[in-house]
A and B are shown apart, each in its own frame.
Chain A
Amino acid sequence: MTQAVGVQQLEDVSARLAHLGRECEERTRAVVWRCARGRRAVHAAADFSRLAGALAADTSHACVLLYRAWSERTTS
């Protein structure tokens, strides 16, 4: 049942989003930048990481909602 409504896939999407955000920030910080451009890039990467984290959390929440929806249906 969970396969049919994409709960598993949503969990994967959430994990991939969170991973993408973390990796982006880490990789950007690891590079040696010249002057202010680097600071702006690191800030942008941190923004992206935070955004990806929030999106991952929202996706995960949607996943929980879907799971509960299908549980309700199967029990009703």
Chain B
Amino acid sequence: MTEVKIDVDQLAELRRFYDSSWKASLELTIELSRIGRGSAEIVSRRMTERLGNGRMGPSRGDLLACQATDQLASVNRRITFVALPLLLTLRNRVDDQLRELEAVANPNLRRGTNPLFAGLENLLWAGPGSYLTRLIGLWAAGKVGYQGPAYAAATPAVASPVPLNLGGLLARLGTLKDGQVEVLRVGGGTSDRYVVLIRGVASLTGPSPNSMIDAIRGQAFGSSAHSSGVLSAMRKAGIPPGSEVMLVGHSQGGITAMNLAADPRVNAFAGGLGYVRIVDVVAAGSPIDGKRIPAETRLLAMHNLGDVIPALDGRDDRRSVNRLVYTFGRPGALNLAAAHGITSSYAPEARSDRFLNDTQVRSFIGASDMFLRQPVESAQRFSLHRGLEPDPRRAVRLRVLGIGVG
């Protein structure tokens, strides 16, 4: 039997080549656009001159230049929409191969799990994947009908101290139970600043809107019963209108935080008469790359590369001036539960030196001074429930009418 030796370095080198080719192709599109634009400008100038000189219609030279400009635009389109995706496909093939080799070389990896999640990731990552997620969301909306009101009820306070740094906040987030939200009032004196901690999915379905169905709805449609519940908790905590707020969410909590930040009725930065000003959003392990936020709201997204959940929206990490993405871990290196867990993955990473010394994280922390490194004035926990809040006045009215109320 001939043993086929596969050179990992060669594969890694090939991956680098695909990456550099992708960048080179992108640069070519920029160059082509520049030349095409220059040529079109010259033609336009010449046509204006000709009209000024009383000549009608373009010259033969101008027509040729127009034809060339059209052709360049067509080349540019094909590079952008065909060649660049092909290079990404090739890079993904190398990644698959490397992942498989890693699984063979290291039997401690969950070999039974990896192909399953790799398959799931491929299914949801590929072009039609995002449609699949959307379809599930549509199904959930029509059949299960979980989009609806939710309300928050106060739960007993937790007395433990809250360290106001990102690692501490994420660890605190990990202590929230199913359907819970915590609102922290920070700063001293008459400060109107609040940090809201929103936990991730607790169950597939259930009485609290902290369910997978609501997560899918929130991801696909931009709102869910969970959003209503968190908003209710913010109102119950007495956050005055116009206050500055930081939302910290894990998994579904991150989706809900982004939905609230994008909602003009909630976030004044989103262009409406919003309830509060959502200054910062921290989303750990959330599929939020398709979500938009106002330019005044800053986002720090944490993404463990071994965690498939942030990739379920089928999009690449989206970065911009106000969207910072911090990645860590290795693709396929951990099992799903460990890679996605707040206490096993994201909170420990937020305490690591690598995180704290990361340039973009430091800039985010520096800009979030108003929330972090401040004394906590009060902490209130709420549990979220689906449906309308029981109204005691309504119960009294029903009793008066002789109708039994449970």
Contacts and interface: CB of A to CB of B under 8 A. Distances in A.
Interface of A: 5-6, 9-10, 13, 16-17, 20, 23-24, 27-28, 30-34, 37-38, 40-41, 44-45, 47-48, 51-52, 55, 58-59, 61-63, 65-66, 68-73, 76
Contacts of B67: 65
Contacts of B86: 44, 47-48, 51
Nearest 7 interchain pairs by C-beta: A72-B61, A69-B64, A6-B35, A65-B68, A69-B65, A62-B71, A73-B61
Given A32-B5, A51-B78, A69 B61 contact: yes
Interface of B: 4-7, 10-11, 14, 17-18, 21, 24-25, 28, 31-32, 34-35, 38-39, 42, 46, 59-65, 67-69, 71-72, 74-75, 78-79, 82-83, 86-87, 89-90, 93-94, 96-97, 100-101
Contacts, number: 124
A68 B68 CA distance: 10
Contacts of B59: 72-73, 76
B6 A5 contact: no
Contacts of A24: 17-18, 21, 87, 90
B42 A32 contact: no
A61 B71 contact: yes
B71 A34 contact: no
B87 A48 contact: yes
Contacts of A47: 86
Given A47-B86, A66-B39, A72-B60, A55 B65 contact: no
B90 A45 contact: yes
A32 B24 contact: no
A13 B28 contact: yes
B28 A16 contact: yes
Given A17-B28, A24-B21, A44 B72 contact: no
A65 B61 contact: no
Contacts of A65: 64-65, 67-68, 71
Contacts of B34: 6
B72 A69 contact: no
B79 A66 contact: no
A15 B5 CA distance: 35
A41 B61 contact: no
Contacts of B62: 69, 73
A53 to B, nearest CB: 11
Given A32-B10, A61-B71, 20 more contacts: A5-B65, A6-B35, A9-B35, A13-B31, A16-B24, A16-B28, A24-B87, A27-B14, A34-B6, A34-B100, A40-B93, A44-B89, A47-B86, A48-B83, A51-B82, A58-B71, A59-B72, A62-B72, A65-B65, A66-B65
Interface centre among B94, B97, B100 (most CB of A within 10 A): B97
Nearest to B35: A6
A32 B10 CA distance: 9
Contacts of A23: 17, 21
Contacts of A37: 93, 96-97
16 contacts: A9-B35, A10-B35, A24-B17, A34-B97, A44-B86, A44-B89, A48-B86, A55-B75, A59-B32, A59-B72, A62-B69, A63-B68, A65-B68, A69-B63, A69-B64, A76-B60
B75 A59 contact: yes
Nearest to A71: B61
B382 to A, nearest CB: 50
Given A5-B42, A6-B39, A52-B83, A66 B11 contact: no
A62 B35 CA distance: 11
